[in-house]
Structure 1
Amino acid sequence: MRVLVTGATGFLGYHLVRRLMEKEFRPIVTRRSTSDPRRLRDLESLECIELELRSPESIRKALQAARPDAVIHCAAYGVDHRQQDPLEAIAINLTATTSLVEAAASVRVARFIHVGTCFEYGDHPGPISETTPLQPRSLYGATKAAGTLLALERAGHHGLPLCVVRPFGMYGAREGEHKLVPLIRRACETGEVLPLTLGEQVRDYSFVGDVTEAIFRLLNAESFPSAEIFNLAGGVPITLKDFILACASVFGGEALMGFGMLPYRKNEMASLVANCGKWERFCGHPVFRTALAEGLALMKRPMEDR
Structure 2
Amino acid sequence: ALVNLSREYNVAQQCIEINIKGTFNLLESFRITKPRIMVFISTEEVYGSGPIPYIEEQPLDPPSGYAISKIAGESLCRIYARELGFKLIILRVGTMYGPGDKDNRLIPQLIMKALKNEEIPVNTGMKKRDYVFIEDVVKSLTKVLDIKNIDTHTVINIGGGISYTLLDLVNIILEETQSNSNVARGKIPERIGEASEWLMNIGKANYILGWKPTVSLKVGLRKTIDYFRKKVQ
Q: TM-score range by the shorter chain?
A: 0.7 to 0.9
Q: Give the one of 215, 220, 223 matched to 1:295.
A: 220
Pick from 268, 272, 276: which aligns with 2:198? 272
Gaps spanning 5+ residues in structure 2: where?
Answer: 1-6, 229-233
CA distance in 2, matches of 1:107, 1:224: 22
Percent pairwise identity: 26
Kindly state the Cα deviation for residue 295 of structure 1 after the two structures are TM-superposed.
1.3
Please state which structure has a larger fraction of its residues in helix: 2
Offset at residue 183 of structure 1 (A): 1.2
Q: 1:160 aligns with which of 61, 86, 94?
A: 86
Separation (CA, whole Å) in 1 of partners of 2:14 and 2:108 = 26
Counterpart Cα distance in 1 of 2:58 and 2:175: 35
Task: Give me the whole-angstrom Cα distance separating, in 2, the residues matched to 1:170 and 1:224.
Answer: 24
Distance 1:259 1:203 in 2: 18
**Residue 140 (structure 1) shift:** 0.5
- The change in CA–CA distance for 1:105 and 1:224 in structure 2 (over 3 A counts) is farther
What pairs with 1:1-306 in structure 2 (closer than 5 Å)? 84-253=10-179, 255-286=181-212, 288-301=213-226
Q: Secondary structure at the match of 1:204?
A: strand
Give, in angstroms, the shift of residue 278 of structure 1. Answer: 0.9
CA separation in 2, counterparts of 1:296 and 1:134?
30
Write the deviation string for residues 151-199 of structure 1: whole angstroms up to 9, x where unpaired.
1122112211121111111121111111122111111222210110111
- In the TM superposition, what whole-angstrom CA distance separates every residue of 1:218-269 from its partner, at most 9, and x where no partner exists? 1232334431011110211211211221122111226522222222022222
TM-score computed with the length of structure 1 as normaliser: 0.67
Q: For the structure 1 residues 181 and 90, does the alpha-carbon distance in structure 2 shift closer, same or farther, using more than 3 Å as the test?
A: closer
Contact 1:120 1:141 in 2 (8 A): yes
Contact 1:202-1:270 at 8 Å conserved across structures: yes
Separation in 1, partners of 2:14, 2:163: 33
What count of residue pairs does the alignment treat as equivalent? 222
- How many angstroms apart in 1 are the aligned matches of 2:60 and 2:18? 20
The letter of the residue matching 1:252 is Q
The aligned residue for residue 16 of structure 1 is none
Q: Is the partner of 1:195 in helix, strand or coil?
A: strand
Report SS of the residue matched to 2:10. coil
Paired with 2:169 and 2:13, the residues of 1 have a C-alpha distance of: 34
Q: Which amino acid aligns with 1:220?
A: D
Structure-2 separation of matches of 1:211 and 1:83: 30
Pairwise CA RMSD of aligned residues? 2.1
User: 1:124 is aligned with what amino acid?
Assistant: G
Give the secondary structure class of the aligned counterpart of 2:156: strand
Do the aligned residues in 2 keep the contact of 1:231 with 1:274 (CA within 8 Å)? yes
Give the conservation status (yes or no) of the 8 Å contact 1:184–1:248. no
Deviation per residue, 1:43-85 (Å, 9 max, x gap)? xxxxxxxxxxxxxxxxxxxxxxxxxxxxxxxxxxxxxx87835
Q: CA offset at residue 90 of structure 1?
A: 2.2
- Which one scores higher on RCO, CA 8 angstroms, separation ≥ 6? 2
State the TM-score, normalized to the length of structure 2. 0.87
CA distance in 1 between counterparts of 2:8 and 2:59 reads: 26
**Alignment partners' CA distance in 1, 2:162 and 2:222:** 19
Gaps of 5+ in 1: 1-80
Change (3 A) 1:173 1:82: farther
Secondary structure (helix, strand or coil) at the match of 2:214 reads coil
Query: 3-state SS of the aligned residue for 2:135?
Result: helix
Segment drifting more, 270-279 vs 213-222: 213-222
